[in-house]
Amino acid sequence: MTLTKSKKSPPPKPSARKDAPINAEYEEKAKAILKFAMSQRNVDFEGLADHLASMGVSISPGGLANKISRGGFSAAFLLECMEALDINVATLPR
């Protein structure tokens, strides 16, 4: 009895979820929410960096500006910023 192995096709190459158009849309929304929150609190990048530093999040004003302008930050970072701006997201309407 001879066993023959059948050739399997290689698995599909993974594509980054980050490249999906829906992600770009939500990155823009997150960036807009954060910039709006900063404008409502009249806080610039330096002020937000100071507030974050008081919470133990170390980031320079320039690094903060770059991170926000890219828009690809984590939900945790967005929540940290909202906390630093004294915005309770649990009470925000959808």
Q: How many domains does the chain have?
A: 1
Does residue 13 belong to any structural domain of this protein?
no
Does residue 6 belong to any structural domain of this protein?
no
**Whole-Å CA distances, 16 to 9, 13, 71:** 21, 10, 16
Q: Which pTM was predicted?
A: 0.74
Q: Which segments in the chain show pLDDT lower than 50?
A: none
Instruction: Output the pLDDT for position 88.
Output: 87
Instruction: Output the pLDDT for position 22.
Output: 82
DSSP H or E stretch at residue 29: helix 21-40
Q: What is the pLDDT of residues 44-62, one digit of tens each?
A: 999 999 999 999 999 999 9
Range(s) of the domain holding residue 62? 20-91
Does residue 76 belong to any structural domain of this protein?
yes
Does residue 66 belong to any structural domain of this protein?
yes
Q: Counting beta carbons within 10 angstroms of the beta carbon of residue 48, is it exposed (0 to 12), middle (13 to 18) or buried (19 or more)?
A: buried
Does residue 68 belong to any structural domain of this protein?
yes
Instruction: Output the pLDDT for position 38.
Output: 97
CATH number, domain with residue 60 = 1.10.260
Check if the beta carbon of residue 49 is closer than 8 Å to that of residue 60.
Answer: yes
Instruction: Output the pLDDT for position 94.
Output: 64
